[in-house]
A and B are shown apart, each in its own frame.
Chain A
Amino acid sequence: MTPRLAILCLEDEPPVRDAIVRDLEPFAPTVVVETAESADDARAALEELRATGDHVALVLADHLLPGETGVEFLVELHHDPDLAGARKVLVTGQAGLEDTIEAVNRAKLDHYIAKPWAPEQLRSVVRDLLTDFVAEHVDDVLPYVQVLDGGRLLAVHAKRAGDR
């Protein structure tokens, strides 16, 4: 079985969460979206994902959440060696300048998507970041050629694979 790519979506408002999941449906079944409504919830989801053997490739986090903020969670995630390769995105309308600076400097934020987003824009960012992840962290890139940026993954494959 090919390991799937997992996206963790941290968002406390159900309609927004549903919208993200719906916008990312075209990536199924190679990509699976797990949702969480708080940082604690997200940690539990990550535990479960670890057990499945899927690659945790991307975290989409809102900033203002009950309890810990999205930026705080991303900073913590950045220091988890198991998730060193996971791409981090803030999807929010409420992160101030300081929070955003914090996210860039201490969580090495990969992208900032301002609400409301256009579905096509979200998919394009996700496709790019997942392709980055696969190119860097997955040995066999072929299973992801169809759903991600195939041209870029094939260029990676050309360097790695030989005749046998």
Chain B
Amino acid sequence: MRRRERGASEQTALQRVGLLAALVAFVLPLVLQPDGLDAAGHRMLGVFLAAIVLWVTEAIPLHATAVAIIGAEILLISDAAVLPVPGGFEAPPFADFYAALANPVLMLFLGGFFLAEGAAKYSLDRNLARVLLKPFGTSPRGIMLGLMLITAVLSMFMSNTATTATMTAVVLSVTATLPPGDRLRTGLALSIPIAANVGGIATPVGTPPNAIALGGLAEAGITITFLEWMLATLPFMLLTLAAAWVLLGRLHRSPTKSISLSIEGKFETSRPALIFYVTFIVTVGLWLTEPLHGVNSQVVGFFPVVVLLATRVFGVPEIQNVRWDVLWLVGGGIALATGMSAAGVDAWIVGLVEWEVLPTAGLLVVLALIALGLSTTISNSATANLLVPIGLTMAMSDAVAVNPLLAGIIIAVGCSLAMALPISTPPNAIAYATGAVTTRHLAVAGLAVGAIGLVLFLGVAPLLWDLLGIAGM
């Protein structure tokens, strides 16, 4: 026994109900055979409905649902289907569904994981935090601003969760010295997850929903460069962050005038560490300069993987540390989009609604609100997996005049802005675990930051994007 694994016996009632409901959801379309869909459509609609139930109830782990989707698609609608689809359906090769697990977007993310792994291995994150925090002085407001900026920047390249855990450890060393009842404790503990959630918005590798949106867009033949994504999102990410900083200062006023924050450590200068630093700088540099050299960021993403393994800076342990579950969760979403599109289920669902009655802007608001609402209680990635195929198909349908790129970004942003509950995101759970933050604190700050972010991204961002020619409206 190394770690105590949760046994199947500890399945909750919700999970048992979830499994049963998923089975019913899968069978229902096969029995009812709704009009407008062919046999493949009925099968794929069953898979989609079952996926919704499983991702919402987490009756089985999120990544298990993802691989189950791929398995089901191969068995039901591919050219290797056990019971071939009748009626002249052009079944996609089963290899296409497996290919979702090596989709270029996943390779981009894999590159991001390698950089994050190295940053943690060589304490680059802590050391950057140590150096970058110095100019922010000793006033609580200054330190909070510094912490939030550093957290946001780190979470653009590392997972929001790992960033929050690392930076919250820094905060704990400060709050331990504060007098009991000082509200600065709450403010600081809250500032980290908020900054990490918001920061993840600003690069394609920042958080899985971004990858899912990119993957869905690529399936539809729409591409956006790393730099364009950053130009489109970074300014509004920073504005949202600034608003959150002001808000937290108001909500959690403290009489403390000065705090000292000491992060110990120094930059590693071993040969592997130096190779890693160079690889990191080159990779990020290539991502940001795509217009100059024209090499796709998804191609660049494999660069750190090859270099770090070839130079033996990373070995088998680091390969094993890669969050394959997260990659496969994204891959499952991409496979779901592929299957729904092949069987015409996405278009059929979009056709159920009279979109013409809603103004264009209204559609984006609805998408963003559904993304925000759903991912407040369920996984951000699962939300994106379910919404991206529908949202993009809707945007591309004849009845609607919404730029699909806009729709994709808005869904991803909506997922990241959901942070009103401890369970909304793993970073929130960390803040909650410190004991300095209550559900009420999170609800107030999380709802406010989510609303501010939404207004900025829906109300102001499209104007800038228009100006810059991003999302070419």
Do chains A and B interact in one complex?
Answer: yes
Given A146-B434, A151-B169, A151-B172, residue A159 in contact with residue B2 (CB < 8 A): no
Min CB distance, A144 to chain B, in Å?
A: 8
Contacts of A161 in B (CB 8 A): 161-162, 165, 426
User: Taking CB as reference atom, which chain B residue is nearest A82?
Assistant: B1
User: Taking CB as reference atom, which chain A residue is nearest B207?
Assistant: A163
Bits for A146-164, please: 1 = Cβ < 8 Å to B, else 0: 1000110011011101111
Give 16 new A-B contacts, CB below 8 A, not counting A157-B430, A163-B380.
A55-B4, A137-B4, A142-B429, A142-B432, A151-B172, A155-B169, A158-B120, A158-B166, A158-B169, A159-B162, A159-B321, A161-B162, A161-B426, A163-B426, A164-B329, A164-B382
Between A and B, 10 residue pairs with Cβ closer than 8 Å are A82-B1, A146-B433, A150-B434, A154-B166, A155-B165, A163-B159, A163-B207, A164-B208, A164-B379, A164-B380
Contacts of B325 in A (CB 8 A): 162
Distance, CA A154 to CA B166, complexed state (A): 7
User: Are A155's CB and B159's CB within 8 A?
Assistant: no
Tell me whether B6 is interfacial, beta carbon within 8 Å.
yes
Tell me whether A93 is interfacial, beta carbon within 8 Å.
no
Contacts of B169 in A (CB 8 A): 150-151, 154-155, 158
Tell me whether B168 is interfacial, beta carbon within 8 Å.
yes
User: Are A154's CB and B430's CB within 8 A?
Assistant: yes
Min CB distance, A21 to chain B, in Å?
A: 23
Min CB distance, A73 to chain B, in Å?
A: 21
Contacts of B381 in A (CB 8 A): 163-164
- The B interface is mostly helix, strand or loop, or mixed, namely helix
A residues with a Cβ closer than 8 A to B are 55, 81-82, 84-85, 136-139, 142-143, 145-146, 150-151, 154-155, 157-159, 161-164
Contacts of B35 in A (CB 8 A): none
User: Are A163's CB and B1's CB within 8 A?
Assistant: no
Distance, CA A164 to CA B58, complexed state (A): 12
Complex partner residue of A138 from B4, B159, B323, B430, CB under 8 angstroms: B4
Distance, CA A139 to CA B2, complexed state (A): 10
Min CB distance, A115 to chain B, in Å?
A: 30
Min CB distance, B422 to chain A, in Å?
A: 10
Distance, CA A81 to CA B200, complexed state (A): 43
Bits for B69-98, please: 1 = Cβ < 8 Å to A, else 0: 000000000000000000000000000000
Chain B: number of interface residues, binned into ranges: 35 or more
Min CB distance, A49 to chain B, in Å?
A: 14
Contacts of B162 in A (CB 8 A): 158-159, 161-162
Complex partner residue of B161 from A143, A150, A158, CB under 8 angstroms: A158
Contacts of A164 in B (CB 8 A): 62, 161, 208, 326, 329, 379-382, 425-426
Contacts of A84 in B (CB 8 A): 1
Contacts of A151 in B (CB 8 A): 169, 172-173
Best-surrounded residue of A136, A142, A162 (most CB of chain B within 10 A): A162
B residues with a Cβ closer than 8 A to A are 1-6, 62, 120, 159-162, 165-166, 168-169, 172-173, 200, 207-208, 321, 323, 325-326, 329, 379-382, 425-426, 429-430, 432-435
Best-surrounded residue of A85, A138, A154, A161 (most CB of chain B within 10 A): A154
User: Taking CB as reference atom, which chain B residue is nearest A147?
Assistant: B435
User: Taking CB as reference atom, which chain A residue is nearest B382?
Assistant: A164
Best-surrounded residue of A138, A157, A163 (most CB of chain B within 10 A): A163
User: Are A137's CB and B2's CB within 8 A?
Assistant: yes
User: Are B430's CB and A137's CB within 8 A?
Assistant: no
User: Are B4's CB and A162's CB within 8 A?
Assistant: no
User: Are A145's CB and B433's CB within 8 A?
Assistant: yes
Contacts of B62 in A (CB 8 A): 164
User: Are B5's CB and A139's CB within 8 A?
Assistant: yes
User: Taking CB as reference atom, which chain B residue is nearest A162?
Assistant: B323
Distance, CA A142 to CA B207, complexed state (A): 21
Contacts of A85 in B (CB 8 A): 1
User: Are B172's CB and A150's CB within 8 A?
Assistant: yes
User: Taking CB as reference atom, which chain A residue is nearest B160?
Assistant: A163
Distance, CA A159 to CA B158, complexed state (A): 11
Given A84-B1, A158-B165, residue A163 in contact with residue B200 (CB < 8 A): yes
Complex partner residue of B433 from A138, A143, A163, CB under 8 angstroms: A143
User: Are A142's CB and B430's CB within 8 A?
Assistant: yes
Contacts of B323 in A (CB 8 A): 162
User: Taking CB as reference atom, which chain B residue is nearest A145?
Assistant: B433
User: Taking CB as reference atom, which chain A residue is nearest B197?
Assistant: A163
Given A139-B6, A150-B172, A158-B162, residue A163 in contact with residue B321 (CB < 8 A): no
User: Are B1's CB and A159's CB within 8 A?
Assistant: no
Min CB distance, B49 to chain A, in Å?
A: 22
User: Taking CB as reference atom, which chain A residue is nearest B155?
Assistant: A163
Min CB distance, B193 to chain A, in Å?
A: 12
Min CB distance, A79 to chain B, in Å?
A: 14
User: Taking CB as reference atom, which chain A residue is nearest B432?
Assistant: A142
Contacts of B166 in A (CB 8 A): 154-155, 158
Given A159-B120, A162-B325, A163-B160, residue A136 in contact with residue B4 (CB < 8 A): no
User: Are B426's CB and A139's CB within 8 A?
Assistant: no
